[in-house]
Amino acid sequence: MSELCELCSTDSLKPVYKPEGSTRNLNVHLCAHCGLVQSLPRIDRAPRASAAVSSGANWGNVRYGKGFRTKAALDALARHADLSKEFAALDVGSNRGSFAKAFLATAPNAQLVALEPDERVVQSCADLPRTELIASRIEDAALETGRFDIVHSCHTIEHLAHPARVLADHARVLKDGGLLVLDAPNIAFLGNDDIVEEWFIDKHLYHFSQGTLARMIEEAGFEIVEQPDARDRSNLLFVARKKAFAAPLAVTGGAEADAAEKLIAHYIATRARNLMALTAVAAEIARLAPQGVALWGAGRLFDSLVVHGNFDPRALSLLIDTHLKPLVGERHGCALASPDALAESDAGVVIVMSRDFAREIEAEAKTLAPHAEILFYSDLLTRAHTRLAA
């Protein structure tokens, strides 16, 4: 029997892309009826692997990214709820406790249930006040009906084999009028012109647009009260309120499907072009090596530079990564350094290998190494394209 679409339950799925380096042998499919992009087979309970800070589909198990979304979630929640009142909240996939800790500090009278299945990080919430810790997957938790005023879920829904069922269960455990704060990756990211990493990673079985995720939320029994920020091409942050009665929606999405197909085609062509240019980027960094090069950001962009651009990390004087250093220690044979090491180095050039935090890194680098030249990954990639076109 063929797989049915998770959103519209039709058999309209067609394969559109094979991710690079998939250890689960996933293929990306597009529903021609509603436009939802999804990876098959729906393997969401594979044995837990070690951390892989790669640029391929096997990236994952590092478990630090959710912390970047805590402030956005709390700001959105505060716009729709009085956080000074007594209420009960559920944090789905509490991870290392970033949201839980910030939430408890902001909501002094709230009770929290922190739900996290990963034994490597679950104890992060073990000793928090006013918190019940449940070591379980959301599908297995069997929480009480109508127990919560708020459900928060950050970058979890895309991992699940059946997210529509889980959203319906979020509605079940919420009181009438309760709030859902839901955050997920945004497939609009594929429209970036500087993408080099594999976006369709094995850990993500669903790849939502604003339209497809909005439909799934509404189908589960919610009224959306805040749409995602249109400027954010990386994340989809919704706030929705449980309705007393959920009516089935007519789901059609020919335009949504066409847009997704064009976006994936753009991604395939752009990524291929950029991967070819990485060799020229690597060569430019190597030429700068006598000046002393500190590269800030050891994640997926750096891995792409080494794997696809054949960059030799030994050309670097320093490899900096604030978030990865406590978790993996080294990358491609280079020990990771903290930002403070930059102040003690003689680096004449700092290369910023980041998109979302490039300006914050630039500001910190200028303070730590005021005489160093600062270059951005995106600028190096643009220059590489110019040289290749000449």
Q: What is the pTM of this model?
A: 0.94
At 249 the pLDDT is: 63
pLDDT of residue 246: 63
User: pLDDT tens digit string along 331-360?
Assistant: 999 999 999 999 999 999 999 999 989 999
Give the Cα separation of 127 and 129 in Å (integer).
6
- Percent of the chain residues past pLDDT 70, beyond the cut: 97
Q: How far apart are CA 320 and CA 302, in angstroms?
A: 11
58 Cβ contact list (under 8 Å, min separation 6): 21, 22, 23, 49, 52, 201, 202
As a whole number of angstroms, the distance between CA 29 and CA 259 comes to 14
Task: Give the H/E segment covering residue 383.
Answer: helix 377-389
Instruction: Give the tens place of pLDDT for each residue, 175-210.
Output: 999 999 999 999 999 999 999 999 999 999 999 999
For 277, how many CA atoms within 13 A lie in the half-sphere containing its CB? 24
Helix (H) or strand (E) holding 90: strand 87-92
Q: What is the pLDDT of residue 65?
A: 82
Q: Is pLDDT above 70 for 242?
A: yes
In order of 97, 100, 228, 249, the CA distances from 309 in angstroms are: 36, 40, 35, 48
The first and second tokens of residue 194, run together, are 């500087």
3-state class of 82 per DSSP?
Answer: coil
Quote the distance between the C-alpha of residue 207 and its chain's center: 11
pLDDT of residue 252: 60
CB proximity list for 386: less than 8 A, separation 6 or greater:
none
Query: Can you tell me which residue has the tokens 């280079």?
Result: 334
Where do the domains of the chain lie, and which CATH numbers do they carry? 46-247 (3.40.50.150), 278-389 (3.40.50.720)
Alpha carbons within 13 angstroms on the beta-carbon side of residue 76 total 28
For 57-92, write each residue's pLDDT tens digit: 998 877 778 889 999 999 999 999 999 999 999 999
| Exposed / middle / buried, residue 1 (Cβ in 10 Å: 0-12, 13-18, 19+) | exposed
With CA atoms as reference, report the closest residue to 309 among 351, 285, 287, 281: 281
| DSSP code per residue over 274-318 | HHHHHHHHHHHHHHHGGG-EEEE--SHHHHHHHHTT---GGG-SE
Please return the burial class of 200, using the count of CB atoms within 10 Å of its CB with bins 0-12, 13-18 and 19+: buried
The two three-digit tokens of residue 390, written as one number: 């000449």
Mean pLDDT of 224-244: 96
Q: How far is CA 354 from CA 41, 207, 330, 378, in A?
A: 32, 22, 18, 9
Give pLDDT tens digits for 108-142: 999 999 999 988 888 999 999 999 999 999 999 99
Question: What average pLDDT is seen over the chain?
Answer: 94
What pLDDT, on a 0 to 100 scale, did the predictor assign at position 1? 42
Give the separation between CA 297 and CA 320, rounded to whole angstroms. 6
pLDDT of the residue at 44: 87
pLDDT exceeds 70 at position 32: yes
